[in-house]
Structure 1
Amino acid sequence: MFKIFIVEDDRTLVTLLEKRLHKFGFDTFAVSRFDTVMEDFEAFQPHLVLLDVNLPRYDGYYWCRQIRNRSTCPIVFISARESKMDQVMALENGADDYLTKPFDYDIVIAKVNSHLRRAFGSYSSREQDRSITVAGLTLNMERLALFYQEERLDLSHTEAKIMDEFMKKPGQVVSRDRLLEKIWDEHTFVDDNTLNVYITRVRKKLSSLGLTDAVETIRGLGYRLRSELEEKI
């Protein structure tokens, strides 16, 4: 089931959007607190975002940039602002499309389906994706996903970067300093406790694929993707 993340402060519009999206089989999450947008995004891990421009605290362009730092999922703006400049700003900040209010809900559904097909379905350009495979486990960085025995597991941007480090050096130790350097950026402060949280999430996700104890702690040094992974698979 595809998951749609809605960042919109008009509760009536949100209710109508969710009703229509649910009718077509989508799972949804609508932001209610606009100071925790990225926390909600990371927890929900959506396949597509519907995003307004005028929002409390920060505008939609700001949140579009934050989401782009973590995900390549499609972002569709839904806004009453109709100027060409607003649409240009949306696209330049990382959006994939722009719909002006009021809009036809059938067009919204058609746009959502179109972008999902391009990102995840029959129109997606798999040959251009960067992926790495270790003993049957494949990490696709563009899709932020792990693939194993025809199962797909979605990752957050940070989880994918951690797995990328592990899978580039299977059986070798990756230091905590290297991981901290890899996942820190100008928008996100990362400390040791935060890294511990992400390592725990990565382990849980691997376990859900049947790969328990795949990430080994090397005390005082860091972590490694176990050399016995191939035997487990």
Structure 2
Amino acid sequence: MFKLLLIEDDRTLFQEIEERLSQWSYEVYGVEDFNRVMETFTKTEPALVIIDIQLPKFDGFHWCRMIREHSNVPIIFLSSRDHPTDMVMSMNLGADDFIQKPFHFDVLVAKIQAILRRVYNYNTETNELKTWLGATIDYERNRVTNDQGAIDLTKNEVLILKQLIEKKSKVVSREELINRLWEDERFVSDNTLTVNVNRLRKKLTDIGLEQAIETKVGQGYVAKEQMEP
């Protein structure tokens, strides 16, 4: 049974989500004191976190930042606001997905199932190190290291990088990446993939690999086999 932490101050919505998720054998925990969200997170040790953006005391973006300082646990944002910048901000902070209220409950379940299956099956199956462009990729620790430093990646970023490296020098289409990451593209905004790739590129730039991933307009992305001089 997976433990989920639902950071939601609307008690009616919380109870509805808790009831529905418990039917799928998920163990759902909530937050009683919104000044102590991190204490609840640490005590619960959830497999996945669902965060509303509008919360008392501090917003969901604040708590996402705090969680990301300590953990790469998958995070899904919920929002009743219709601002594209909210989704972009969520992804830039390291969230794995974004759902706008009101939402169909089947969509939430599908996203939770896809993320849990991807993250936890992937972690148990992948323990090897990979060398690429002079960098060592530790798939188990979600870390890329070279002589210029080390970067920590989210689960989505690691999976994007892994998919590209497995087919280095070949174009990997956006549709292929979406299906690999989220398994059902009907539930994914195309912008979600763009944000994840851009965030991965920014991190790679920090260790001198700013040209490692090339965009093929209208086709997809390519992981280079060697860097240009």
Say whether the fold is shared (TM-score over 0.5): yes
Give the residue type in structure 2 aligned to 1:29.
Y
Consecutive unaligned residues of structure 2, counting only runs of 5 or more, are 129-138, 143-151, 155-229
Q: Deviations over 1:71-97 (max 9, x none)?
A: 111100011012110100011111110
Q: Deviations over 1:152-182 (max 9, x none)?
A: xxxxxxxxxxxxxxxxxxxxxxxxxxxxxxx
Is 1:49 equivalent to 2:46 in the alignment? no
Alignment of 1:1-233 (within 5 A): 1-121=1-121, 126=126, 127=128, 128-130=139-141
Kindly report structure 1 stretches of 4+ aligned residues shifted beyond 4 Å. Answer: 122-125
- Counting matched residue pairs gives 134
Distance 1:91 1:24, change over 3 A: same
RMSD: 2.2
Distance 1:42 1:21, change over 3 A: same
TM-score (norm 2): 0.55
How much identity, in percent, do the aligned residues show?
41
CA deviation after TM superposition for structure 1 residue 37, in Å: 0.2
The structure with the larger Rg is 1
TM-score (norm 1): 0.54
CA deviation after TM superposition for structure 1 residue 14, in Å: 0.2
SS of equivalent to 1:118? helix
Q: Deviations over 1:169-223 (max 9, x none)?
A: xxxxxxxxxxxxxxxxxxxxxxxxxxxxxxxxxxxxxxxxxxxxxxxxxxxxxxx
2:4–2:28 contact (8 Å) kept in structure 1: yes
1:129–1:142 contact (8 Å) kept in structure 2: no
Give the residue type in structure 2 aligned to 1:2.
F
Structure-2 separation of matches of 1:56 and 1:15: 18
Consecutive unaligned residues of structure 1, counting only runs of 5 or more, are 132-140, 144-233
Distance 1:47 1:85, change over 3 A: same
